[in-house]
Chain A
């Protein structure tokens, strides 16, 4: 990757390239999701202390996905990465009910960010492989997603571990980019 490639992925991208920001609380499964997208091994994943970037091809697009660490002390730095974002993907651990309020607050703050205004948001209700996972509908209600009026949004249940639901989510991403970019 190297610093130079980071600069290249930083600039406003041509029509066929899409810049996707992957955010969410720590332990939500962002890096697993990223690796699953890139068809990489997901057996040794540790908390992300910085960021990971991967490019994947999908439906004629090159998706440049930025996975940003979600631990509390590094959340204030999320805004380092807002510039030129085409789609925001927000990942939620559907089984961690104790932190629904916290994750809802973080999401609300993101949606208030000027640099992300109008950016389509996909919410992945992740970890649906766990028995205790809340269904997407319950999370949507808890987060008041239906009150979002200033952008396209979608909630998709998925399991980053098994891969289930991820493709459906990415299809929505490409569709919403299509309506914006082309």
Chain B
């Protein structure tokens, strides 16, 4: 094994090692999820040396520099105020979901008008319209970090794979017998997983366009799914009140997570793949041990259905959005509620952290998106202007641009 070079990853903090093994170039990452500006660098380095043989004595100074660079980045105080940069008359019917590519240079919008559009973030110009679906384009994704492909899942029961550069359709994945409502690329970008109202999830090969496997076992609609960071596990959440954990290579179910007393609304892994967070109509969020499948915490407090949940990128915090109009932030380790996000005048349908983990963004039926300080729970900004409810919102990787998609047929860029 020979170390070739280092790459820095800001969010979540980590150092990527590019090395040679048996003539092939490989990468692995040293995750520094607990890193803070106050972390003792010497101590950290000796810990890294104990566990990572590729870091030899001659590399220490270099690694030290990288860690300091990360600490510097973490120490930067982002007190940006967002303003409306552009309101795009994006579609002729309501938008569904929105998503950025990794660099944030472009983003995509799905719509009831059966199209998905690719937009240039800086100019607000439309780059491509992806046409071909015969019904609502509901679920959309870039194959991040690569960003050269887009997958769209439609109420027409098909999923399509597109070139992000040319807008050309590579494949149409056919096989589901009801609406596709969620999808994801695996981190290696070799397959797409789709979840459907037909109660199954399917895995598709990006190269050949063929179906790899059908994941059967749920007894009601699959509404949310997500790969873990490694890409060897997939979690699915269903209206049947259960969550399933699947082994990707064998397509077999490893665990059924039973405990929620209502439909599942949202499922997600944390970065180190140890935990799964699930939101439910039973007004709670549950945290599960991904290895054992046991529930390790029930995050209660909301007075109505939990509609969305997410981890911050380091996996230390969980944010929940509820039909009660409030959001909450919890510690993933202790399950303690650390902040309440109160102020919206309608249900909150989407919630996400900025990549830095210092801000939370919420999208609401009250036609506003709001920006919150994670530590204090104080509302920093109300993003006003949409004339109907906001269905989706997203941060770019730098955390300095926000997009919101609304039932009012427009998409807004905030910077």
Contacts and interface: CB of A to CB of B under 8 A. Distances in A.
Interface bin, chain A:
10 to 19
A73 interface: yes
Residue among B307, B347, B407 with the highest chain A CB neighbour number at 10 A = B407
Contacts of B365: 1-2
A85 to B, nearest CB: 14
A108 interface: no
B88 to A, nearest CB: 15
Given A2-B365, A4-B307, A80-B155, A51 B179 contact: no
A22 to B, nearest CB: 16
Contacts of A69: 93
Contact of B223 (A1, A2, A4, A83): A4
B71 interface: no
Contacts of A11: 197, 221, 239
27 contacts: A1-B347, A1-B365, A2-B347, A2-B365, A2-B391, A3-B96, A3-B138, A3-B392, A4-B349, A7-B197, A7-B223, A8-B263, A10-B155, A11-B239, A49-B92, A49-B93, A49-B94, A49-B409, A50-B93, A50-B94, A50-B388, A51-B94, A51-B112, A73-B92, A74-B93, A77-B93, A77-B112
Nearest to B179: A10
A49 B408 contact: yes
Interface string A61-97: 0000000010001100101100100000000000000
A80 B407 CA distance: 15
A1 B350 CA distance: 12
A170 to B, nearest CB: 26
Residue among B239, B323, B349, B392 with the highest chain A CB neighbour number at 10 A = B349
A74 B92 contact: yes
A3 B384 CA distance: 20
A126 B271 CA distance: 57
A49 B92 CA distance: 7
Interface in B311-358: 323, 347, 349
Nearest to B349: A2
A88 to B, nearest CB: 18
Contacts of A77: 93, 112-114
A64 B93 CA distance: 20
A2 B407 CA distance: 9
Nearest to B409: A49
B181 interface: yes
B112 A80 contact: yes
Interface string A1-30: 111100110110000000000000000000
Contact of B265 (A4, A50, A79): A4
Residue among A2, A8, A73, A83 with the highest chain B CB neighbour number at 10 A = A2
A83 B178 CA distance: 10
Interface in B226-278: 239, 263, 265
Interface in A32-79: 49-51, 69, 73-74, 77, 79
A7 B221 contact: yes
B135 interface: yes
Contacts of B389: 1-2
B279 to A, nearest CB: 10
Interface in B122-151: 135-136, 138
Nearest to A79: B135
Given A1-B407, A3-B392, A10-B197, 19 more contacts: A1-B365, A2-B307, A2-B323, A2-B347, A2-B389, A3-B97, A4-B349, A10-B155, A10-B179, A11-B221, A49-B93, A50-B93, A50-B408, A51-B94, A74-B92, A77-B112, A77-B113, A79-B135, A80-B135
Contacts of B263: 8
A1 B364 CA distance: 9
4 cross-chain pairs, A with B, having the tightest CB-CB distances, nearest first: A2-B349, A50-B94, A3-B391, A50-B93
A50 B407 contact: yes
A10 B112 CA distance: 14
B265 to A, nearest CB: 6
